[in-house]
Amino acid sequence: MTTSPAAKLKEAAPDNALQDSIAILDFGSQFSQLIARRIREINVYSELIPYSTSAAELKRLNPKGIILSGGPNSCYEEHAPQLDPEVWKLGIPVLGVCYGMQLMSRDLGGHVQLSEVREYGRALFTIVHHGKLFAGLDPAIESWMSHGDSVTELPEGFQTIGRTADTPVAAMADETRNFYGVQFHPEVVHTRGGKQVIANFVRDICGCSQSWTMAKYIEESIAEIKRRCGDRRVLLALSGGVDSSTLAFLLHQAIGDNLTCMFIDQGFMRKNEPEWLVETFEKNFNIPVHFVKARERFIGKLAGVIDPEEKRKKIGAEFIRVFEEESRRLGPFDFLAQGTLYPDVIESAGTRVDPKTGKTVAVKIKSHHNVGGLPDDLKFELVEPFAKLFKDEVRVLGREIGVPEGIIERHPFPGPGLAIRVLGEVTKERLKTLREADWIIREEIKAHGLYRQVWQVFGVLLPTLSVGVMGDQRTYQNQIVIRAITSEDGMTADWARLPYDLLSVISSRIVNEVPGINRVVYDVTSKPPATIEWE
């Protein structure tokens, strides 16, 4: 029987009968996950579930409040995603954001139509009535808008509580039923006071207790791991990243020597990282690591491969083969531990809306690298303690249980590693070139005290050559791109405004110290429209 998206998400959620929570119905906004993060930041648990979730299912989940996310559709279109009308009868506070506000207005008897003036980006929002939702906010705030439709007629029982110069009804409320709508996006950092709006709704209107704490989560996770695993053996594929490394520490605290960590060196790590990883775990923390040397196998599989998705698939397939061989040799094991995060669970649930048809469709930007596709006779049970957490929450957890700062502060690194930062064909020579250039970039960022101020910084080796002059001679050599971005969680990102003097030092060092490079460029593209990685 196929598991529904809501059920998949429920598997990663705590028992809501024991904990206050907010349900976020996802209508396809690129910011939906940010709403969940903002709620977590005030120590309240939140779930992001499909807009098609029925009122009966919501009643079973027992949230203290509901938030309707934004989305790319117009609510009056033929295929626009709809809300189960029974939701309005649950007696639960509801906050509609952007599309969610428009849907609320239309469903409850108001009117929505295409605006004469569309609002995208920053807009000055004036509060007409503070009430509970806007308590503590200034009379006017800078807000972030992204809409072409507007509410032109309020439903019965509602009043206008905010406006902008171009949108007379930019926020509305029926305070008797605790129904609220805001046309702006309070979840994004561009909305000043947006976190306060969300806190007011969650804490004061919904009455949620702020009981979602990392200390409690760790205590419950260790108890659950002990209960499930007992004296049986657990295998963890260690990548050296924040997620798998923190998971190794958590599992080791819970089950000790019943944990086996396997690190597969596929040759795509950054300079000196495989050696540093093993030394850190084994010598400093007495966590044994089974080190698998497999560089030749992986590089051989990528001969002639240029397409990034094909790279990911070939690396993933070879990883599974190596993993299978080694796990059979070291086993048997009863459990496979993975650092699956909450965004992975959300994406696997397939809850995105096609703006043309209004249908829920599966959207894949790139392949994930968690272990999957293992042979049926390797009958592991999965252990995924982080399936409720966002990336930054894993860092908080790591600090709580004593994971070294060198691991906690490590920038996110893709599963396929440098193989997808070497654009075009991956060879030993091109990997070495990128590895040396990337080392210089990160070394200088750290030396200038900026490593913790950026979310990620790395080098990309382009598949093109450019003309240069070195020693009065013409050169035709490779180019390195510096990619540095700022972000709170990787869902959206902006390019980092690194000092020109620093960029100059990095460029000079790369050109002078890395053979075959004669040009260094800087990526000044945000996400969206670009992704953080180039492949």
Active-site positions?
98, 185, 187
8 A C-beta contact, residue 413 and residue 245 = no
DSSP-assigned states of every residue in 189-240: TTSTTHHHHHHIIIIIIS-------HHHHHHHHHHHHHHHHTTS-EEEE--S
CA angle 192, 197, 203 (to 5 degrees): 145
8 A C-beta contact, residue 441 and residue 457 = yes
Alpha-carbon span 455 to 452, nearest angstrom: 7
CA angle 58, 60, 61 (to 5 degrees): 65
Alpha-carbon span 38 to 44, nearest angstrom: 9
Question: Residue 68's closest CA among 60, 80, 78, 471?
Answer: 80
Alpha-carbon span 227 to 332, nearest angstrom: 20
8 A C-beta contact, residue 489 and residue 392 = yes
Burial class of residue 505 in the structure, from the number of CB atoms within 10 Å of its CB (0-12 exposed, 13-18 middle, 19+ buried): middle
Give the DSSP H/E element, type plus range, for residue 462. strand 456-470
Alpha-carbon span 80 to 112, nearest angstrom: 13
User: Before 528, cis peptide (omega within 30)?
Assistant: yes
| Local structure of 146: helix, strand or coil | strand
Alpha-carbon span 236 to 213, nearest angstrom: 26
Burial class of residue 527 in the structure, from the number of CB atoms within 10 Å of its CB (0-12 exposed, 13-18 middle, 19+ buried): middle
Cα 186 to chain centroid, rounded = 18
